Structure 1
Amino acid sequence: MAPCNSYSSGSWSSLPNELLISVTKVLPNAEDFVRFGAVCRSWHSAVTKNNYCKTRHMPWLMMAETSPKSKFRRFYSHSEDKIYRFMMPEARERLCFGCPGGWVATVGKDSEVHLVNPFIKATIALPSIGTFISPMGNFSPEFKRISVIRKICVSISSKSPLNLKNPNFFAVALYDMGWRLAFTSPRTRGWTKILCNWWPYFDATFYKGQFYLVNHYGAVVALDFRRQLVKKIASSPDHYHFDKRYLVESSGELLQVIRTLESSLEKAAPERYRTVRFCVYRLDMSTRKWERMENLGDDSLFLGLNTSISVVASELIGCRPNCIYFADDICHEYSDEIVGRGHDMGVYSLADNSIEKHYTGVSQSTYSPPMWVPPFLW
């Protein structure tokens, strides 16, 4: 849309500022928010961080690298069925993890760790993982990149922007294939190891001011930073067929999502594995018991190599309710895959157990497959 001026747009550029602000607060996606501000100077004045509703924007799919030399990363917008490019040299040849607030945690072959936000062009350095990882013999840097860190989770809120001048948050790393834990913050020079007895871990999330983790067996623990240990919160739900487990906050409750794969014994097959089922459980914090959820109501989940996301589908254009949007995060279990991960993506309906594609293109990587990132502009 071309910019307008007083000669071409007349009364459109003279609309009351209060009306313009009201419109910006109900725009359904980030793309429309940016376009609104590009119309003319008066409309641009209404495009501020105070008027940007972060909860109304469907997560974007951050694609795998097109080339190891590329300084750009592509982001797929479902609401427009369109791909956007962002300058992101900090993610080049790095293992990436999607985080709240539009942030992406990156881990390089040099063991350096950063938080990068491509939407606001900001970078925060975290201590190197070389300060706490165990020796791994004569393995290549490429192998260490995909094998040391299973996930990085941060205590950044999606509801308020991070103070870039004085960032105050914690980061937790699941490392040594999830068998060990460590935490850090921008204010410290290293990582602090955590004594854990309930390992290995699959996933972590920041829920009501505390980090929670789920282990291989489905038990959930809470982190105690002061005592530098974990405390068991709940045992596993009665569900024994699984390949991946996730934790996610949805409508104020803590959910455990179980993902089941179907695997091929033929190693030469281009698609050695595919997702066939999801099961969802909610944790009753008063009884510490899991309850099976047959549907998510108007909510939908976004799972992958990112902090799991829950959204209200009716508030987002093109988002299907009672569904799980999943990306391919089966990295470590199939690390010998030559082509890379990225083919096992889709939308799972809890209503009829069907699976459809949410992205029909090809985007694969041996170390950093596609993942979900909320498009936050501030």
Structure 2
Amino acid sequence: MASSSSSSPFLMLPVADENTEKIQHLSFYNFKNNKPYNLKLPPTLKNTQFQCIGSSKGWLAFLDQTLKNPFLFNPFSQTLIHLPQNHPDITKLILSQDPSLRPHTYSAIAIQTPLLSTKLSYSRNRDATWHALPNQSNTYYDAICCDATNTLFALAPGLQVESWNLNDDSPTKSTIIRPSYPRSLRLAKEAFPRDLYSSQLYLALASGGDIIVAVRYVGEFVRYDGEAVYEGDTLTDYMAAPLVCPYRTMGFRVLRADVSGGEWADVEGLGDYAMFLGGNETAVVPAVGLMKNAIYFTDDYWERIDEDYSYGGHDFGVFCMEDSRFEEVLDLEMDKINPPPFWITLPSSP
């Protein structure tokens, strides 16, 4: 399996003021040498309340909470790029190419979730507005871009993958993978029933011509002993408040198909590679100094992440595909991680 990124991601922890919720600095944790690196924000971002809405190709994407204006920030070069304003519904933002290397051809792609649907829009370098991609499906779960070809791939219902060439003046949609349901997903319905679990899907691109989908199964209410229970089971006769049974990732399934088309196939393992997923652009990288054949994940359950003060942001760790074992990434002893952590792949390690 070829990698989609040349550098191992860092875990970014935005550190915010407890009272104002304004981010004071960014902390990056390097797993290769087990060291944190703190980065001060440039003066233009001081005294601003913003949230991270993505990371892609070495850049962070933020949304100004007051003005609802998105912008890009490169923590490596300290470069700031403002995107077209007033786009409040963005839940994830990725880049088609690295603006540092391709300043005239890159596009920012916004995954937005107004009401019950999920739509895609894009903005080319220095555009004043966002443009809706033509011929969209009803909703999308995730998207990924190929830097070399400036092509956008998006995952639609039924595991259908659609693509757009962003080099065209008016991008046209192509369907490269038709709906299909591999055996592993049919079995997963029994292991992770919908009345106890929800699922999230992530799309990754490997340079060897493979498209990869990871399906993440999250227990909606998980007891301290690791058992998923119904919400009614959190109520007790001897306590005034329900038991705290936070949502928790309980398993993964991984699929693979050729970018030129074909059926989905089950992936038993990632070999000498690791996958990084969450609010970031999903990355598959060589596991140098990392756990091999593993999925590193962060908390991106945006619908529930703020509903309880005691556990939001904590659903992150490492899943070992060989034996379905979970391990901690960092032991953060705090009630709530706000803002939640993000993965980011820097051009090079410090």
* Structure 2 length-normalised TM: 0.77
Tell me the equivalent position of 2:16.
66
1:83 to 36, 52, 55: 36
Letter in 2 for 1:81: N
User: Cα 1:362–1:79, aligned 2, differ >3 Å: closer, same or farther?
Assistant: farther
1:149 to 90, 104, 115: 90
User: Cα 1:230–1:151, aligned 2, differ >3 Å: closer, same or farther?
Assistant: farther
2:108 to 171, 195, 198: 171
2:295 to 306, 324, 341: 324
Deviation at 1:59, TM superposition (A): 1.1
Tell me the equivalent position of 1:237.
181
Is 1:214 matched up with 2:155? yes
Distance 2:305 2:23 in 1: 25
Q: 1:118-137 to 2 correspondence within 5 Å?
A: 118-130=75-87
Distance 1:243 1:268 in 2: 24
Tell me the equivalent position of 2:58.
102
Secondary structure in structure 2 of the residue aligned to 1:116: strand
Deviation at 1:118, TM superposition (A): 1.2
Distance 2:263 2:84 in 1: 37
Distance 2:54 2:328 in 1: 20
- List per-residue Cα deviations over 1:318-376 (Å, max 9, x = no partner): x011110111111135553444632111111110011101111147446x411101233
Tell me the equivalent position of 1:274.
248
Structure 1 contact 72–87 (Cα < 8 Å) conserved: yes
Distance 2:305 2:343 in 1: 20
Aligned-CA RMSD value: 2.8
Deviation at 1:199, TM superposition (A): 2.8
Deviation at 1:102, TM superposition (A): 1.9
Structure with more strand by fraction: 2
Segments of 5+ residues of structure 1 without an aligned counterpart are 1-53, 131-143
Tell me the equivalent position of 2:238.
none
Distance 1:125 1:287 in 2: 36
Identity score, percent: 25
Structure 1 runs (4+) deviating above 6 angstroms are none
User: Cα 1:192–1:262, aligned 2, differ >3 Å: closer, same or farther?
Assistant: same
Deviation at 1:156, TM superposition (A): 2.0
Larger Cα-atom Rg? 1
Is 1:356 matched up with 2:297? no
User: Cα 1:274–1:358, aligned 2, differ >3 Å: closer, same or farther?
Assistant: same
Aligned residues: 301
Is 1:185 matched up with 2:124? yes
Tell me the equivalent position of 2:266.
292
Segments of 5+ residues of structure 2 without an aligned counterpart are 190-197, 222-230, 235-240
Structure 2 contact 5–283 (Cα < 8 Å) conserved: no
Deviation at 1:197, TM superposition (A): 4.1
User: Cα 1:112–1:153, aligned 2, differ >3 Å: closer, same or farther?
Assistant: same
Distance 1:232 1:222 in 2: 6
Deviation at 1:64, TM superposition (A): 3.6
- List per-residue Cα deviations over 1:196-245 (Å, max 9, x = no partner): 44232121100353101113543221135544554332224332546110
Distance 2:295 2:95 in 1: 22
* Structure 1 length-normalised TM: 0.71
Structure with more helix by fraction: 1
Distance 2:58 2:261 in 1: 35
Larger RCO (alpha carbons 8 Å, 6+ apart): 2
Structure 1 contact 99–153 (Cα < 8 Å) conserved: yes
Secondary structure in structure 1 of the residue aligned to 2:162: strand
Secondary structure in structure 1 of the residue aligned to 2:264: strand
Tell me the equivalent position of 1:24.
none
